[in-house]
Amino acid sequence: MLFEVWAPRARRVELVLAGRARPLRARGRGWWEVEAPAGDGDPYGFRLDGGPLLPDPRSRRQPAGVDGPSAVYDHGRYPWRHPWPGRPLPGAVLYELHVGTYTRDGTLDAAADHLGEPAELGVTHVQLMPLSPFPGVHGWGYDGVGPWAVHEPYGGPEALKRFVDTAHGHGLGVVLDVVHNHLGPHGNHLPAFGPYFTDGRQTPWGAAVNLDGPGSDEVRAYFAGSALSWLRDYRLDGLRLDAVHALHDTRATHFLAELSAQVDALSAELGRPLFLIAESDLNDPRTTTPRASGGLGVHAQWNDDLHHALHATLTGESTGYYADFAADPARALAKTLTGGFFHDGTYSSFRARPHGAPLDRAAVPAYRLLSYAQTHDQIGNRAQGDRLAAKLPPGRLACAAALVLLGPYTPMLFMGEEWGARTPWQYFTDHTDPELAEAVRRGRRREFAAHGWAAEEIPDPQDPATRTRSCLDRTERTRSPHAALLSWHHRLIALRRTHPAFTDPDLTRLRVDVTPGPVVRLGRGDVEVAVNLGPEAVHLETAATLIENWGVPERPAGSGTLTLPPNSVAVLRRTS
């Protein structure tokens, strides 16, 4: 078996395999290699210039955690049960899922046992939050290291393959959230091997990845190779790229353009659709503009502006980045539903500067933007991790679901949202470094103290009870009012699937009317969604047939007037 590692600064590199040391030979451009007999599961690591044993930067398995030795893992050994042609992004409904809280067991195998639920709901893809190894047992996963491996407490690489195989058996695609903008900090041994990071730029989470300095060719290849491995070796359908605005890159070809080209090439090679979804804070249309037209070629991006407009309308919150959206909720909703970005070159009071650029509605297919009422970020980064269901009545949740699931963009739900879960989803960690654990605890309390929260009101991220509180309670699914909301989500997704107008990618054919209240009327083709988010009943003059509704009374025979009470939804279809 060939063992190789990039260590351009080392003068001597040793492989320590199953307790035996072997020297590696230099092969040029900073790479070292050696052939050695090895079997699946054998522990190994590298020693640079006589230093401590370090895990392989490209480790496929870390059975003893982020600081332990790597283990040999053969990707070819798994007996895949379900052939998979893939599921493309157009027409998709995504379901964001955190393995550690989807069940109390918090493992991939336990999560796989419940994949029938999103499949029955009508979801097309489950989107897993990061799986790379991180310190301890439980955490969000955004402080992971070893981007080629799977967190061992979740079950390791074999468990991920069983999860994906089971998902495919249910007809579900699988998307994975990956973090390329930073690693660690705990367990990040890459700086010992080479210039993976740059001191010249910082991200909110530490030193920026070196994508454009000396040695950056190998750093780019490292992260691109990891991405392709997830798609090829684990048969994933797509990747969500975390915080791409923190990928600092001044080279002529941006890393994202390079990565999207390689993913498209792999898709052609495998004969199944693959896609990338960017999380970007830039409101930059170039992110999803095709490479041939000068863009980065990423296939879709999250649209936080629609979330903010919807959240401000639903809750009345007006602090922080919600301020601009809450000033005129009807306008904010109308603008984000028709053009994607609210800040498209307009002034952002939160940033104290203009922000974003406009999308070309005629050129951008609607599915390239993701819409959502809740995500892990928008719930978990609140002081107490409270979901919308903690404060809003079921009718208001039903309105939000209709605008997301029957709106123009690719919809995404956060686990439990479909039944109005009231369990919080809080920020939790399991750092094994006491100093880091205390720094995170203090930082969290300091952040929210600035917004008037007392320290005792902020859940301790290191307390195991914080994670436990965040686990879903599936007994809610059969209780009132959760069962009604679950049924409503079933019906909305079925409508999206059976009426082609709901997945029409052409934004220029979208009809949107938002009046004060607000009352939202969203139409495409022969269908229309009318949502009353205001405090008073409204009366619509329409001859269209009511095909689905939440809280709308049956109109008298022969009447062309439809009454929409507060927090109600009518889905209408013209019959001629």
Residue 422: give its domain's CATH number: 3.20.20.80
Q: Helices marked H in 473-534 — which ranges?
A: 482-498
The pLDDT assigned to 559 comes to 84
**Residue 335 pLDDT greater than 90, yes or no:** yes
Domain interval for residue 484? 95-191+223-498
* Inter-CA distances, 426 with 127, 142, 254, 350, 466, Å: 19, 14, 35, 24, 7
In angstroms, the CA 142 to CA 147 distance is 11
Catalytic residues: 242, 279
Residue corresponding to tokens 């042609």: 85
| pLDDT interval class at 330 (50, 70, 90) | very high
Q: Which of 461, 478, 498 is the last residue of a domain?
A: 498
524 with 488, same domain: the answer is no
In angstroms, the CA 523 to CA 475 distance is 36
* Structural domain count, the chain: 2
Q: What is the mean pLDDT of residues 102-113?
A: 98
- Please tell me the pTM assigned to this model: 0.97
Give the Cα-Cα-Cα angle 522, 528, 533 (nearest 5 degrees): 55
**Residue 514 pLDDT greater than 80, yes or no:** yes
**Residue 322 pLDDT greater than 90, yes or no:** yes
Q: What is the mean pLDDT of residues 361-380?
A: 97
371 with 316, same domain: the answer is yes
In angstroms, the CA 94 to CA 369 distance is 12
Residue corresponding to tokens 């009352």: 519
The pLDDT assigned to 556 comes to 80
334 with 400, same domain: the answer is yes
461 with 516, same domain: the answer is no
The pLDDT assigned to 328 comes to 95
**Nearest to residue 259, comparing CAs of 308, 214, 209, 188?**
209
302 with 406, same domain: the answer is yes
Residue 251: how many other CB atoms lie within 10 Å:
14
Q: Which two tokens stand for residue 239?
A: 């990747």
366 with 494, same domain: the answer is yes
- 410-414 and 94-97: which strand pairing? parallel
Mean pLDDT for all residues in the chain: 96
463 with 358, same domain: the answer is yes
Q: Are 113 and 97 in contact (CB under 8 A)?
A: no
300 with 448, same domain: the answer is yes
Q: 11 in a domain, yes or no?
A: no
374 with 428, same domain: the answer is yes
CA atoms within a 13 Å half-sphere pointing along the CA-CB vector of 212 = 13
**Residue 177 pLDDT greater than 80, yes or no:** yes
The pLDDT assigned to 575 comes to 82
472 with 520, same domain: the answer is no
Q: Helices marked H in 316-433 — which ranges?
A: 323-326, 329-339, 376-380, 394-405
Q: Which of 471, 498, 525 is the last residue of a domain?
A: 498
261 with 372, same domain: the answer is yes
